[in-house]
Structure 1
Amino acid sequence: MYCYRIMLLDAMCFVLVFIVIFSFLLFDTGSSGNKVGLYVTQSTSLMQWGIRHSCEVANQLISVDRIIEYTDLESERQLKKTKSQMTQSWPSDGRIEFRNVTYKYAYEIEPVLHQISFKVLPRNKICVVGRTGAGKSSIIGALFRMAHVKVLIEIDGVDTSTIELNLLRSKISIIPQQPFLFSGTLRQNQDPFNQYTDDEIYNALDDIKMRHIVSGNQGPDLTVLANGGNFSNGQRQILCLARAILKKNTILVLDEATANVNAQTDEIIQQTIRSKFANCTVFAIAHRLNTIIDYNRGLVIDGGRSVEYDTPYNLLTKPTGYFNEMVQALGHKEFDRFLEIAKSRNAFEVINS
């Protein structure tokens, strides 16, 4: 389609130049050669101007069409728990259970998750791994009720399908793969509802080692450009981590949060998670396989199904396992290194259990 459009534009330019030149040959206007060249140049410039503006008009009309389409979308279900059924501290433990969960993005299409079942104990660190398109991110979509979820997902024994969406999503912190910063101030990005004091914001910035960015006179009122243009990608990702620290939720979701950052930023994020979220349930989508070694359990997804769920050490020692095969592909040296780390962590957990 792209090549066809280029050929069409070339043909239009050729036809225009042909008409302009031959009009001077067929009709004796007394124009000299330099004037003919000027006419040809001006006509092609006008054509470029017309094509550019016609494309802009088409884009603007498409944006209006999209807005109209979005206004016709069905609203998300807003079911509410009664006050007697919900407590202010919910969730206090961070226990998560999936029971034969089927998840699809629309009623008329095939599900992307098929009867997923697993349990996450309180304060455990769970890592979801799998090949591209296996359904890793769909696990998070089901947890946040982004589309159509069948059967049951429980958090601290409460069925999430019966909870108001605003309440459910406010109780789960997430650090996305692509960090979002909005134009305004740093305070508005970290605390949009004015729930925290300056000292709490400063402490969160200290935890992520970014206090220096507000060391000037502006403080938390530091200007943030659209899409966080005055921060690097790594800084934007770390600032999203500061939001999660401020929220103090018992459940933290990492959607491949370190996929687009360098090793140094990755280390800062991992250290902060280990120290600030030690008493939280961490649910992570892994981009780097070595990430799973630092977690209590690993969930392996393949084709929208849960194929393995165990400790990293047990996953590595399973001869025909999916995770074993993925790590083996990195080479024998890397496999042996991962196995040694997983073995040490497994022994530590056994001693402390």
Structure 2
Amino acid sequence: MPSLKEYFMLDRLGKFRDTLKQDNSQFMPRNRWVIYTEKKWLEYDGSQIPPEWHRWIHHICDKPPTIEKLSNPKWQLEHQENLSVELFHYFIPTSRQLQRLTSVTRSPLYNLFAETINGTTSIRAYGVVQTFFSHFCSKLDIQIGCRYFSLIANRWLSVRLELIGNLLILFCSVMAVFSRDWGTATAGLIGLAISKSLDITVILGFLVRNINDAEMSIVSVERILEYRDCPQEASWISSKGREPPSDWPSRGAVHFQKYSCRYRPELDLSLRGITAEIKPGEKVGIVGRTGAGKTSFALALFRIIEAAEGRILIDGVNIAKVGLQELRSRITIIPQDPVLFSGTLRFNLDPFNVYKDHELWTALEQVHLKQFVEAQPKKLFYEIAESGENISVGQRQLLCMARAILRRSPLIVLDEATASIDSQTDELIQRAIRTEFSRSTILTIAHRISTVMDYDRIMVLSAGKLVEFDTPEKLAAEKTSHFHALVKNSSNIEK
């Protein structure tokens, strides 16, 4: 029985693919290929290689090496190989860009199709069916055009590869005739060379397309690496030994100490050197013009943006040392755009099933939604559509208020919660704030100055800086203050 190397050295014509298809487990494990070259042995496990690279290696090591082994120095294939490489250099970059264009133009087409399906009723009601049809045809023409040029590029390559393959067959045939005079090849060897060269066109076509597919597949790897290298949030839970007290925060005191933050490292500071102390149970209104930093103030409390300088203390605990889950679960925010999920009303009020039904009814009664829910056949199991589309904006806001009442957090942030609702709902929210959160610290970010005029103090922001922080009466009385200008401007708008 010959050794493994002797088994392959019996014939130096190339890789014995047909022999490997047979039962040769006595020589090597299943699915393992051993390829002999003049320089070294290459051994790999076929099951561990992606399909594109698997086929690429297969075509590299199949017919072309066989033909070269059959050739003597007079039968060199250098010109054919160089010509193929030149074609690859032209085709692969072009094909790659065309495929990317095809993918880029496909996404808007799919988005428009999905939006049209979802808005069919509105499209027909407004009589713009033909407009959307023309818009869709326009995007479809662009996508088909990119796909068409991609197919043309493939045909361009196929024609030239066919030409190269035919030239190779002609070359082998001519050299076979002259080899009779040279006496360097037998009839069997010549027949094997010609039969192998017949497949060279197919091999070259598969080779270049597999290389192209492999390059396109690498894009997925690049995306994975991009997500892997994305900056991550801080730890979800506090490190051992730094956990906040179980009842934290118990009072709701907030202290900003020379706090600055930015959204990304390359951007300017959105808050600059904020120093302020908010007492437990205090109602503070945060006002300012657009871009003053009001929303950044709220995001900083939840560590959605991290501190560039300074720190924030809640009940004496530095929030930078607290895990994100512990921080965000113990303070409450009522956002400008209410967040509701597709599911029952009970699920939206109590997604983790912590509270009992009578507590939910009490919260609904306090926000004046009990009558509406009782009128529904399923009551607490009334189905809420995605984003709460089957209820009004005001009712969505009141549901968020009911969630806040259930949690009873000592610190509550209202991020412009009354900017997009009617005056009646606004009054209900303000009444709930005064009665149900009388012991909680309230930070309200508002455009309507009237909603914060009865608060304890007003914080005025401008260009990310804290410019004024005092009672509304005192600030409004100073004619040179920023708050006085905001009140005056608000009064003119309301008139």
TM range, smaller chain:
0.7 to 0.9
2:330 counterpart of 1:171? yes
Question: After superposition, where does 1:85-164 map in structure 2 within 5 Å?
Answer: 86-149=244-307, 150-164=309-323
Q: Which residue of 1 aligns with 2:170?
A: none
Whether contact under 8 Å (1:128, 1:286) holds in the other structure is yes
Q: Which residue of 1 aligns with 2:422?
A: 262
Distance 2:436 2:460 in 1: 26
2:463 aligns with one of 298, 303, 306: 303
Distance 1:229 1:117 in 2: 41
TM-score, normalization by structure 2: 0.54
Larger Rg: 2
Render the CA deviation track for 1:297-349: whole Å, top value 9, x for unaligned: 100000100000001111112231110122233459x99xxxxxxxxxxxxxx
Displacement of 1:279 in angstroms is: 0.4
Render the CA deviation track for 1:15-41: whole Å, top value 9, x for unaligned: xxxxxxxxxxxxxxxxxxxxxxxxxxx
Q: Which residue of 2 aligns with 1:212?
A: 371
Residue type at the aligned position of 1:128: I
Whether contact under 8 Å (1:182, 1:225) holds in the other structure is yes
Change (3 A) 1:205 1:54: farther
Q: Percent identity?
A: 40
Residue type at the aligned position of 1:49: C
Displacement of 1:73 in angstroms is: 2.6
2:444 counterpart of 1:284? yes
Displacement of 1:71 in angstroms is: 6.2
1:77 aligns with one of 234, 238, 242: 234
Render the CA deviation track for 1:252-305: whole Å, top value 9, x for unaligned: 100000000010000000000000000000011011011221110100000100
Classify the secondary structure of the residue corresponding to 2:453.
helix
Distance 2:442 2:436 in 1: 11
Residue type at the aligned position of 1:110: D
Classify the secondary structure of the residue corresponding to 1:282.
strand
Whether contact under 8 Å (2:274, 2:465) holds in the other structure is yes
Unaligned runs of 5+ in 1: 1-44, 59-63, 336-353
Residue type at the aligned position of 1:188: F
Whether contact under 8 Å (1:106, 1:148) holds in the other structure is no
Classify the secondary structure of the residue corresponding to 1:294.
coil
Single out whichever of 71-80 and 259-268 deviates more from structure 2: 71-80
Change (3 A) 1:136 1:47: closer
TM-score, normalization by structure 1: 0.75
Distance 2:400 2:322 in 1: 25
Whether contact under 8 Å (2:459, 2:469) holds in the other structure is yes
Render the CA deviation track for 1:113-165: whole Å, top value 9, x for unaligned: 10011010000001000001111110001111112213110000000000000
Change (3 A) 1:196 1:70: farther
Displacement of 1:70 in angstroms is: 5.8
Q: Larger relative contact order (C-alpha < 8 A, sep ≥ 6)?
A: 1
Displacement of 1:109 in angstroms is: 1.4
Change (3 A) 1:296 1:47: closer
1:229 aligns with one of 372, 389, 412: 389
Classify the secondary structure of the residue corresponding to 2:332.
strand
Change (3 A) 1:262 1:331: closer
Change (3 A) 1:84 1:140: closer
Change (3 A) 1:48 1:287: closer
RMSD of aligned residue pairs (Cα, Å): 2.7
Classify the secondary structure of the residue corresponding to 1:329.
helix
Displacement of 1:81 in angstroms is: 5.2
Residue type at the aligned position of 1:75: Q
2:208 counterpart of 1:49? no
Distance 1:290 1:197 in 2: 36
Change (3 A) 1:70 1:301: farther
Displacement of 1:214 in angstroms is: 2.5
Render the CA deviation track for 1:79-128: whole Å, top value 9, x for unaligned: 61546752211111000000100010111211111001101000000100
Render the CA deviation track for 1:165-194: whole Å, top value 9, x for unaligned: 011011111110011111011111111111
Change (3 A) 1:225 1:47: closer
Whether contact under 8 Å (1:234, 1:261) holds in the other structure is yes
Residue type at the aligned position of 2:400: C
2:290 counterpart of 1:202? no
Distance 2:490 2:388 in 1: 35
Single out whichever of 315-324 and 261-270 deviates more from structure 2: 315-324
Whether contact under 8 Å (1:107, 1:148) holds in the other structure is no
Classify the secondary structure of the residue corresponding to 2:461.
strand
Change (3 A) 1:72 1:230: farther
